[in-house]
Structure 1
C-alpha cells in the first residue's frame, strides 16, 4: 500500500474508528512486540538459509495493524482487504491472526497510567477508585456451527432461539467499558458465566465494591455479601397492596436508570463487531 493510501486510512476516523494519535500509540507499543515475536519464530526453527534472507514483507507492520482494525471495525472479508492492500488473502489472514492477540493482551486503557487486562484488575480498580461497576451479558448472533461439531447444540440461545455466542461486559457508572470476557456458547446463562470467570470469589475476597446487575444475576448478592446489587424481588405475585406496588416500581426504576449505562458500553463493543473475537 502506498503512503498516500495509508495516510488516508489513518486520517479518516470512520475507517478504523480510532484517531491518528491512538494509531500512532498502538504502532509504537505493539510494533516492537510483533517484531520480537516474528524474529523469535525465525530464530528458533530449523533453517536452510540465514535469518533475514529471502523476500521481504509486502505488508509492513503499520499496514498489518490497519488491516486488523478495519477488519474488527467493519467485519470486512479477507478477500476485500487483500484487494485493498494489494496482497494475497493468506497474507491478510496471517496478519490478523498475529496482531489481534497483541491488541487483546494490551488491555483496556482507562486513564493515563491505568490499564486493565483481567477481571481481577477491574475489581481492584473499582475498590481503589470507589466507583460502581455495572455488569451484564450480551449475545451476538453467529453462523450455525458446522455439522458434526460436538458442541453444536450448545450455541443455541434459549432466550433468542438462535445460534449465538455470549460475553460478559463490565462498565463503570458512565458506561466506559472496563472488561469484556472471552465469548462462550449462547446457551450459557449470565449468572453461570459470571461464576466461571470467578466474579463471586473476587468480590467475596476482594475490596468492598458495588456491582449493579440485572435480574439474571439474582443470587450473587447473597454469595458476595451484598456486593452484587440486583433489582428488588417481587414479594406479592397476586393482589399486591397499592403501597407495595408504588415502592416496588420506584425501586425498580431507580435500579434500571443506573444499570442502563452498561447497555451503552455494549453498544460500543458491538460497533466493533465483537463476534469477530470468537
Structure 2
C-alpha cells in the first residue's frame, strides 16, 4: 500500500541497493529497510516530513537528512533500470510495422510548482499549456513494453518541445537507424537526422486534407500516444510528482525523484502486453 510494489519486489530492491548503503551508525534510528520505506512513502504519497517523523518516531531533521541522502543514492542505483533500446528493431505487429524501427515514443510531462517571487523566474517557469508555473520533463517509453527508457532533467515550464530535445541529452542516446514517434509539437526532424535517425510526427494538413499514407501514419502515432500517456499517468501516481511542489524543494532532488519514480514504474507489471 505504501510503496506500490509487491513485498518481494521491495525486498529485492533493498537487497540490490544495500551494497551502496553505508553501514548503520551507532546513532542511526532506522535500519536500511525502514529508510527505504520512508523514502518511498515520501515519493508515492508526498507525506509531509512532520508526518513521516511522527510515523517513524524520529526527529523531522532526521527525516530531512534521510531524504537528502537516499533520494540521490537511489537515483544513482536505479537509473540502471532506465536504458535506451540498443536495437533498431521495433514492434512487428500492426500498425507499427508500417513505421519500421520505431523503438521509442517520446512525450513531455510537467510538475506544478509554487509561483516564484522573482518576476524573471515566474516568466521562465510559466507554462502556457498548463497555465501554471511548472518544471517540464521529456520522457520516452519502449514501444514493445511501455517501460521508461529515458527521463530527462527538468526544464523551465516555458521551454519549447524542440528545446527540451536539443538540450536534454536524449539525442546522445540514439542509435543510427532508430525511429522515434512523437506528437506534432516535437517538430525537430533535423536534429534526429543529424544522428541518422528518424522522428515521425503526425502530418500537418496539406491543402486541406491528408494523403492516405499520412492519415495512416497519424493514426499509428495517435495509438502510440495513448501508450505513452498511460505510462505518464502511472508515473503521476507518485504524488510527489502530481501535487504542487514548494519553491523550497531543491531542483536536483526533484529531478532525482522523477527518475526514481520512473525506475520504480519499470519494476511493475508491463504496461504493454
Q: What TM bracket, shorter-length normalisation? A: 0.7 to 0.9
Q: Which one of the candidate residues 188, 192, 198 is aligned to 1:219? A: 188
Q: Which one of the candidate residues 211, 215, 224 is aligned to 1:258? A: 224
User: In angstroms, what is the RMSD of aligned CA positions?
Assistant: 2.6
2:238 is the counterpart of 1:272: yes
Output the CA distance in 2 between the equivalents of 1:226 and 1:27.
38
Counterpart of 1:20 in structure 2 is 7
Alpha carbons of structure 1 residues 126 and 260: separation in structure 2 relative to 1, 3 Å: farther
Output the CA distance in 2 between the equivalents of 1:134 and 1:190.
14
Counterpart of 1:160 in structure 2 is 130
The CA deviation at 1:222 is 6.5
Structure 2 gaps of 5+ residues are 91-100, 246-253, 256-273
Q: Which one of the candidate residues 18, 43, 52 is aligned to 1:31? A: 18
Which has the greater radius of gyration?
A: 1
Q: How many residue pairs were aligned?
A: 231
Alpha carbons of structure 1 residues 253 and 126: separation in structure 2 relative to 1, 3 Å: same
- Secondary structure at the aligned position of 1:132 is classed as strand
Counterpart of 2:176 in structure 1 is 207
Asked whether the 8 Å contact 1:169–1:179 carries over to 2, the reply is yes
2:52 is the counterpart of 1:86: no
Output the CA distance in 2 between the equivalents of 1:158 and 1:27.
41
- Secondary structure at the aligned position of 2:149 is classed as strand
Output the CA distance in 2 between the equivalents of 1:201 and 1:216.
20
The CA deviation at 1:198 is 3.0
Q: Which one of the candidate residues 33, 41, 48 is aligned to 1:62? A: 33
The CA deviation at 1:150 is 5.4
Asked whether the 8 Å contact 2:161–2:186 carries over to 1, the reply is yes
Could you give the per-residue CA deviations for residues 209-242 of structure 1, whole angstroms, max 9, x where no partner exists? Answer: 1111110111325642451111112212xxx36x
Q: How does 1:101-116 map to 2 (within 5 A)?
A: 101-108=72-79, 115-116=80-81
- Secondary structure at the aligned position of 1:103 is classed as helix
The CA deviation at 1:201 is 4.9
Could you give the per-residue CA deviations for residues 80-129 of structure 1, whole angstroms, max 9, x where no partner exists? Answer: 11100001111111111111112111235xxxxxx445xxx515x34478
- Secondary structure at the aligned position of 1:166 is classed as strand
The CA deviation at 1:15 is 1.2
Alpha carbons of structure 1 residues 271 and 126: separation in structure 2 relative to 1, 3 Å: farther
Could you give the per-residue CA deviations for residues 138-164 of structure 1, whole angstroms, max 9, x where no partner exists? Answer: 11212112x247533211002122111
Q: Which one of the candidate residues 187, 190, 194 is aligned to 2:158? A: 187
Asked whether the 8 Å contact 1:75–1:273 carries over to 2, the reply is yes
Q: Which has the higher contact order (CA 8 A, sep 6+)?
A: 2
Higher-helix-fraction structure: 1
